[in-house]
A and B are shown apart, each in its own frame.
Chain A
Amino acid sequence: MNFKPSGALERFAAALLVLAFALAGWKILQRPEASAFAAPPATLSPGTGQPAPRRGLPAQQRSPDGRFRFDAQFVSSSPGLAVHAPSLVELRDGRLRAVWFSGSREGAGDVTIQSAVMDPASLRWSAESTLFDRQALQQGLWRYVKKLGNPVIARAPDGSLNLWVVTVSLGGWAGSSITWARSTDEGATWSAPRRLVTSPFLNISTLVKGVPVSFENGETGLPVYHEFVAKFGEVLRIDAQGQVVDKVRIPGSRTNLQPVILVSGPEKAQVYLRSGNATALMASGTSDAGRTWSPAHASAWPNPDSALAGTVTNTGKQWLALNPAPRNREILALLQTDTGGSFDGVTPWIVESSANPQVRTSIGDYERLLTQELKARGASDSEAQAYVASARRQLCSGDTCSQEFSYPYLLQSRDGYLHLVYTWHRTRIKHVRLDPLQNLEPAQAAPGHASSGK
């Protein structure tokens, strides 16, 4: 063995080697330790988390089974387009900002990231605006981008807004990467987009859908999922500069995706995942603030390979929004349980349901149903026709259609209301606002399209 360098070039190479390892070692020593989850919303004594009373608003709608009431309105306003994957954030002044993707069809080159803002006093959504299109992302990322997908918006621990967007340069959705941008003016303007690097294999196949969580040290935990070769859930740790500093795979989730994290304490959280092979809602947990997760296991709820959402309210209750029917997305429901409790066996709050989820709807009935609700909510004849045509294109085959209420996203605003946004028949984004502490009434009729309240 001979370590002694001979010649000037070798001495230079040896010096380079020493310098490289010294700098890398120093950088490794500077790496922040993983920390606990940021404190979950304070648990209030019963009654104190009651939302502010409604004033001067239209009558509430009754749920399909008649057990609870809610306000509902459409968010998106682009007749004829395919819309999907909404997410939601509360602004500092109490308004809500929703983002979703919209285009001629899912995966088309003309898909853009749209946004609208809701005034909580009137429950009216503003006209939608475009946050990012493919060209803007290409110019900001300095690379070719083929298509855009799911956006997720959330408040960062430093108070700014983060937007993560699925972007594809190569292949289908399995070729996705995550692009992010930051806004310091509540979403009016955004920084140049940057790419998160999450995989060594051409940085492909990481997608985002779930609500991020915060850590005490100012980092963000972003639930993401991988689709290429195998499907599994992961949690990215992202530092205050927006860079990935670690990621943890959820073990045993080889066919599962789109994790949703519900934090129940500084070190404890549960994660729920969509079943990629349409079996059951999958669950996992951590008791060390996400450093490790338990192997994913099936819960008692079926999952028709559809996305879910979750949040923890200020009273400590945990909520999930999901499609609870085993084979389709024709029912959308909320589940509620106590902090760290199980959702198995709880009674669902049905938000939307087709009249008969086991049977596809004839085209005539489908058009009638959609037109009726669109017009009731203010769409003109031509707008309703365009919305229905878009839904037909995506959800009808032969002479039948499947109704779809999917891709939910949940948020509790500071006034105590629970907000649910979701894809309505792939043609509009719908917003539901409800009081999570309301008294439930006895179940009434069989599920059907939500009827107007009295």
Chain B
Amino acid sequence: MEAEQSLLERCDLWGCIQCGKCTGGCPVSFKTTLNIRRLVYQALVEGELSPDGMAELWDCTTCGTCVLRCPKEVEPSDLIIALRTTLVDGGVIPPSIRDALTSVFRHGNPSLMPPDERADWAEGLGVKNISEGADTLYFVGCIPSYDDRAQKVAKALVKVFQKAEVDFGILGVEEKCCCNEVRRVGEEGLFEYMVEEQRELFKGYGVQHIVTTSPHCFNTFKNEYEGLDIKVQHYTQFVAELIEGGRLTFTGELNKVVTYHDPCFLGKQNGVFDEPRRILRSIPGLEFREMDRNRDRSLCCEGGGGRMWWEGTNPEEKLATSRFEEVLSVGADVMAVACPFCLLTFELAAKAGGYDEKVQVLDIMELVAQVI
């Protein structure tokens, strides 16, 4: 940990001109008191910044919009993560986030689930373990491993892989949390510890190619696992290749109007906008319609950056709810997603807002699996 470094040494904020583009684009700035532009200014003026009592720091979804749009290449969300680190170190942290971190450390997943049940979802599917050797490691992720709803996505992806005759394996009970969110809630120490472990695991099995369910795992493997010399793809990238290379062919039709919600960690943060759309457009019978806010202007679902484990300072107002108004306005039957966080967040909001009768929230793989 870099506890001795001052805040301004840890975060390079001096380039900031206080233009407000960060706060202007922040998806939660309208619903909470979090104002990242002001925090940056306070940090510069005061040199140090005490995060005590700043509950709104936990509202940040780490969607990356502030970083993406800053004209001066300042990374404002670094400051939030640094302040969270101070809070984590001092133990001043929402209990649900603390529990998630403890669970990652003890069980390898944030949901207090038993590690030896991690691969139960794959029982009877004929999925081999990576120890048997395979071209591709399918990194399932915590939520698709344990959550009933998200397991359907993992199963759909397995069906797709099998149909396309992909030689793949999973880590089974050895798989552990990628720790993308662990890092974002400020637990850098745990992140580094877990990275070390996973890297050795991948190395041990001679993994050359990883495909993830979650854009969050994809992001951290691709950008933050130092020295990981492995090709990492989100499943949308890989499956688009399978379809376009003629390895995956459709046998049925899907007569639905479908729109797509860009996950922040896939779209804004990693520029993967086209592949999910290409997959959807290739499905026979499917009519694809864009929402007004798409691609770089997509709206965060509020599931990232630890928000999966904490509902924030203003739980009444959900961005996911407003998103459904947009889905309805384009006349879509299905809101397609490509991220387990988005899937669960939107399903919850759909039920709470009564949208579930009009709109189905489905992962792209669930749609594909219906027509192969």
Q: Do A and B bind each other?
A: no
Q: Contact residues of B with A, CB < 8 Å?
A: none
Residues of chain A touching chain B, judged by Cβ–Cβ distance below 8 Å, are none
